[in-house]
Amino acid sequence: MISLWTVLILICYPSRGLLTVAYTLEDEQNLQTALLSGYSKGLRPGRDRSFPMTLNMSFGLLSIKEFDLNTGKFSLTGVFQLNWIDERLSWNPANYNQTNSTVISQSLLWLPDLINVNPYEEITGLRLGLSMIVESTGLCNWYAIQTFETVCDTDVTNYPFDTQICSLRFYVWSYEPTDIDVVFVAPKVVLDLYSENGIWEIQDSATYTKINVYNYKEIIVDLFLKRRTSYYVVSLILPLIFIAFLMGFVFLLPADSGERVGFSTTVLLSIVVYLTIIQDILPESSEPNVSTLGFILVTFVVNGSFVVIAVIISLRIQSQSCQKAVPLCINRVALYLRRRRKTKDMVEPLDTKSELNYEDEEEKVTWHEVAKCFDMFCFILLQIFFFVTSTSYLIIVNT
């Protein structure tokens, strides 16, 4: 079976590459005239019709042209390499001055009708190919190069750390399974001439056939794609994480600075902008799953809304009149926190710690002290929420 590199050499060097040949133009012309005389390209090869004709096949990927997650359009350029035996095209090389092979236009010979059954737009056949290389044994080598546009069902659950499986699916049209037997000679896609894509990395591939529910053999080429994440980590994930991390620090701003509400709403709007960007990139479908990153962003938006509310509540506590008594339950909590703080701040010998005097425990706390305790509680709670949410997301997308 001739490799992809060989066919390129044959294209670049019409005189069969760098090999020295003895036959002349007249020899090859006489050969093709004899081969095509009475040849019917509408009849499949194979003298014994009780046995299927074997169609050997392999697929070489040249480039990934486009992959649109919104529409599911997957476009790639590749080469199908097919060969089969056509007894009508065999000859004795000695009769034609040792002519062992010839190149014949594909429009003059029989070709298998391979139809793409999962196209993005119109159903197309595999017809765009190079001229066919025919050997003296009757072996026909056909290289069909084409840009294929197919529908690829995307799963954006782990975006932008997602992997996708996209397939090319073909049928041999107009023939029963007993007429043609398709066999892949290579279990994977040939990547010798592949040009790397800047967004998608090919993790694995598979080429195989299977019998569908209608008892027809389906030709399948699977590509397992993994997104290159460096760009998304730098431009999306890290900025989002740092913006969400800043959310809790609004409670460390002095209340009399007048910047708390503006700070919290600015951070909230920044997260909303990222949510809008993600919604523009990802498809609108909910199957099989919605992006985990979308859920995280919505969680951050809801969290930011509660932060704005908590900031307003904190400012309201700060502005309470000194004559207004602090409720007893709040007063007890504030006294407990004050006692804990003083215990940590005081440095006394071990034998005198039992004699610590908490005469101020019965003192009444002020609304200003209540507001400070509320701010510290909100800050700690937000940092715990941030680390739990971020860690959970990273665990989910890496499992």
Q: 9-13, 54-58, 179-183, 331-335: which has the minimum mean pLDDT? A: 9-13
- CATH classification for the domain delimited by 231-326+366-397, as one of 1.10.240.10, 3.40.50.720, 1.20.58.390, 3.30.420.40: 1.20.58.390
- pLDDT band of residue 343 (cuts 50, 70, 90) is low
**Pairwise pLDDT comparison (163 vs 371), residue with the higher score:** 163
Query: Over 70: is that where the pLDDT of 355 sits?
Result: no
- Name 78's Cβ contacts closer than 8 Å, sequence gap at least 6: 59, 60, 61, 62, 145, 146, 148, 168, 189, 221
Q: Is the peptide bond before 160 cis (omega within 30 degrees of 0)?
A: yes
Indicate where the chain has its CATH 1.20.58.390 domain(s).
231-326+366-397
Q: Among 59, 57, 77, 53, which residue's Cα sits nearest to residue 67? A: 77
Q: Are strands 180-184 and 53-68 parallel, antiparallel or unpaired?
A: parallel
For the chain, the average pLDDT equals 82
Query: Over 90: is that where the pLDDT of 42 sits?
Result: no
pLDDT tens, position by position, 82-118? 999 999 999 999 999 999 999 998 889 998 888 888 8
- pTM score of the predicted model: 0.76
Q: What Cα–Cα distance (Å) separates residue 155 from each residue in 121, 223, 230, 258?
A: 21, 14, 20, 46
Q: Which of 274-278, 349-353, 358-362 has the highest mean pLDDT?
A: 274-278
Q: Among 295, 142, 159, which residue's Cα sits nearest to residue 231? A: 159
Query: Over 80: is that where the pLDDT of 338 sits?
Result: no
Q: What Cα–Cα distance (Å) separates residue 235 from each residue in 160, 231, 274?
A: 11, 6, 11
Query: Over 80: is that where the pLDDT of 334 sits?
Result: no
Q: Name the DSSP letter for residue 125.
A: B
4-228: which CATH topology? Acetylcholine Binding Protein; Chain: A, (2.70.170)
pLDDT tens, position by position, 233-285? 888 888 888 888 888 888 888 877 778 888 888 888 888 888 888 877 777 66
What local confidence, expressed as pLDDT, does residue 288 receive?
A: 65
What local confidence, expressed as pLDDT, does residue 340 receive?
A: 66
* Averaged pLDDT, 132-148: 91
**Pairwise pLDDT comparison (277 vs 169), residue with the higher score:** 169
- pLDDT band of residue 128 (cuts 50, 70, 90) is low
Indicate where the chain has its CATH 2.70.170.10 domain(s).
4-228
Q: Which two tokens stand for residue 374?
A: 């509320």
pLDDT tens, position by position, 11-32? 443 444 444 457 898 989 999 9
